[in-house]
């Protein structure tokens, strides 16, 4: 008998991942604090629950895709959380929360016989839809092997460690690099446009040279040069991710000079643009100061 699957948090990222589970034939029970977020999945036959506890009453394996560490903690270990459910034996967290949230949550769940698999993802909404995410999974061997076929529906699975929290550490490292690339590329592009360079030509040159990075390859051509600013990830979430990196690195006692600079850039971007703005809009902060616009010329 196939495992019954639960999914908590079916927003921008969670909805397409939950959809991929349904595409593969799994029966699904879903919960989101926003009723409208569940409507598309319910129309396809997913059972709608009223709490994470209710999901854990109905499902053997529960997935989380939640925005903030506090959300993961409350939906996992709160009064109406997974910890109070009667059926679920594995919780797979696809969120980005940092080890300092994951480890105590995993410990609390273990005391009631629920195993925690830490599996944050990278690749954006597009990757979630296409099943091309990078999945950074960590946890005990048996539950990890049990959920790996499900994780492969989301993308390429990397087993990065044998205990919860190691996947989070990998994700924070990845996201700091991504955040740094977008911030510094925005600065460089504003400088070039101020100097009179064509921004599209700049991107073409950089992508043919040693400065190539994720921002020049995708974010600038798709979202910034076109002025669409719809890449699908929020400025506030990126600020949250780099802040979590800073907290973890500080706890480990590793050098942070550049990490602090990146975090400051995203703190300013959230303050100026708002938490819900698309994170590619960070370039606007620099454009306004320099008096230029980084857009493809007609």
Q: What is the DSSP string of 52-90?
A: HHHHHHH-SEEEE--SSHHHHHHHHHSTTSGGG-SS--E
Residue with tokens 């009064």: 79
Alpha helices in 84-212 (DSSP H): 99-110, 124-130, 141-151, 166-195, 199-207
Strand bridging mode 47-48 / 61-64: unpaired
**φ, ψ of residue 162 in degrees (nearest 5):** -95, 5
219 is catalytic: no
Distance of CA 206 to the CA centre of its chain: 27
Marked catalytic residue, from 89, 171, 219, 240: 171
Q: 169: Cβ–Cβ under 8 A, 6 or more apart, which residues?
A: 99, 248
Backbone angles phi, psi at 93, to 5 degrees: -100, 115
> What is d(CA 291, CA 193) in angstroms, rounded to the nearest whole number?
10
H or E element at residue 214: helix 214-214
Distances (CA, A) of 280 to 229, 238, 258, 277, 284: 6, 10, 20, 8, 9
- Annotated catalytic residues are 171
């Amino acid at each position: 008998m196939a495992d019954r699957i639960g999914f908590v948090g079916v927003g921008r990222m969670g909805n397409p991942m939950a959809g991929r589970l349904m595409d593969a034939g799994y029966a699904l029970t879903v919960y989101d604090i926003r009723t409208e977020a569940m409507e598309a999945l319910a129309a396809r036959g997913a059972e709608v629950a009223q709490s994470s506890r209710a999901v854990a009453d109905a499902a053997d394996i529960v997935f989380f895709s939640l925005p903030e560490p506090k959300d993961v903690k409350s939906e996992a270990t709160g009064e109406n959380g997974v910890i109070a459910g009667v059926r679920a034996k594995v919780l797979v967290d696809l969120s980005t929360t940092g080890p300092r949230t994951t480890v105590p949550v995993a410990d609390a769940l273990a005391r009631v016989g629920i195993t925690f698999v830490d599996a944050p993802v990278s690749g954006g909404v597009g990757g979630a839809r296409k099943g091309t995410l990078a999945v950074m999974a960590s946890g005990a061997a048996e539950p990890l092997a049990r959920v790996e076929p499900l994780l492969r529906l989301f993308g390429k699975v990397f087993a990065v460690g044998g205990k919860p929290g190691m996947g989070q550490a990998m994700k924070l490292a990845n996201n700091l690099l991504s955040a740094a690339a977008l911030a510094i590329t925005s600065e460089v592009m504003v400088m070039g446009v101020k100097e009179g360079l064509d921004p599209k030509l700049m991107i073409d040159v950089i992508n043919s040279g040693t400065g190539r990075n994720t921002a020049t390859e995708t974010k600038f051509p798709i979202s910034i040069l076109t002025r669409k600013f719809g890449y699908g990830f929020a400025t506030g979430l990126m600020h949250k991710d780099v802040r979590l990196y800073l907290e973890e690195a500080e706890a480990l006692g590793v050098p942070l000079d550049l990490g602090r600079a990146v975090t400051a850039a995203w703190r300013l971007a959230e303050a100026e643009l708002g938490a819900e703005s698309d994170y590619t809009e960070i370039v606007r902060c620099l454009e306004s100061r320099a008096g230029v616009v980084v857009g493809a010329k007609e």
